[in-house]
Amino acid sequence: INQQPKPKDPLSTQSTMKISPATLAALALAAGSTNAFAPAAPTRSISSLNAVSKKDKYQITLLPGDGIGPEIMTACKEVLVTLQKKCGFELEMTDALIGGAAIDAKNDPFPDESLEQCRNSDSVLLSCIGGYKWDTNPRELRPETGLLKMRKEMGLFANLRPAKVLPQLIDASTLKKEIVEGVDVMCVRELTGDVYFGTPKGIDVVDGERVGYNNMIYREGEIERIARVAGDVASKRGGKLCSVDKANVLDVSQLWRDVVTDIITKEFSDVELSHMYVDNAAMQLIRWPKQFDTIVTGNIFGDILSDEASMLVGSLGMLPSASIGESGPGVFEPCHGSAPDIAGEDKANPLALILSAAMMLRYDLDRAEEADMLEAAVEAVLDEGLRTADIKQEGDGCKLVGCIEMGQAVAAQLEKIDVPVPV
């Protein structure tokens, strides 16, 4: 893949058409946008995966989770309170347990009451889960098991992670400027199949020694639905889709390649499809990331590659993500982990969670104008020269701030932004 096609001209963003949050989330960092976080307008109608209708009051479940999760959620909540007061609508935000916090309180990484609350909400905002404290627990009592349960029970089969290098933070990347400048990659990861969910699985004793095993399994229908999401995403971006697999050695990857090829060639004739083995893709993302526009891959490969792509921008602390299903609320969360080593020290970066909240406003709550305001406030804070430790560079002339101050700065910028007048 040696040429990056010219991005398609964005259309007007004033359309009120209800479309897939998969499509919209993928457009959150579309090429050619004047706002680094704003989407281009849709060009194809999607009948499923619709956000709730715009209304005056929403039920939001907050999952603070573990590590730095509670403190970044506190900062984000302050920003959302400022936004709703300014714009005249209400977010009724209720906490629920997940991860290590749920294990400590309920001996369950995702209690049934948390699942029920999430299902009955208009949307879900998740901070992060996990930590050293629970790493030696039995598998069923680890924080990650709760996350997998949430995805499976809520049908969150598609995860979309954008990685776009922002001009304000280009020097934060560990790669050379000429390598990362202009990078704009969307990773579409299948989220509820593959080796994380395949059965049978376990650890048994065979011939006197322990044997661990998992099963990398995909059904045709699971591949078809993620391929359609990825095709729709790619058609709204640069028109290029790279499907990543390991078809040279894995039968499940051969099925993946066959099904993706069939769906894209038949249903998305405007999308240029290519295939790449996962080991080569991992290398190419570092060697020349600008060759990629949209990537689609399975659960375990996507877990690794999306983190790698996210680091092209310099810090996971800046990147939001969306996990969506065919119906019901989506779950919006930052790409980073729980960072237990800095938990409680006011060093965390809350911007990825705040940007995840903006995605929630846009794609689950039908509040595009308010999402624009939130994204603009984040950009204004960066332009102002405020930086948390993860994006601070020596000699950059910027001010080092903590989690609390960064959240307050975003809220303060919101107060300066005019509320859009409906046309």
As annotated, the active-site residues are 196, 246, 279, 303, 307
Q: Specify whether the CB–CB gap between 357 and 76 falls below 8 A.
A: yes
- Give the integer Cα–Cα distance in Å for 357 and 332: 7
* Three-class DSSP category at 220: helix
Backbone angles phi, psi at 94, to 5 degrees: -125, 130
Residue 121 tokens, joined? 């909400």
Q: Given the DSSP bridges, would you call strands 294-297 and 184-190 parallel, antiparallel or unpaired?
A: parallel
DSSP-H helix ranges across 288-339: 299-310
Cα–Cα distance between 373 and 29 in angstroms, integer?
15
Count of residues in the chain: 423
Cβ-contact 143, 156 below 8 angstroms: no
H or E element at residue 115: helix 112-119
User: Distance between CA 6 and CA 322 in Å, rounded?
Assistant: 26
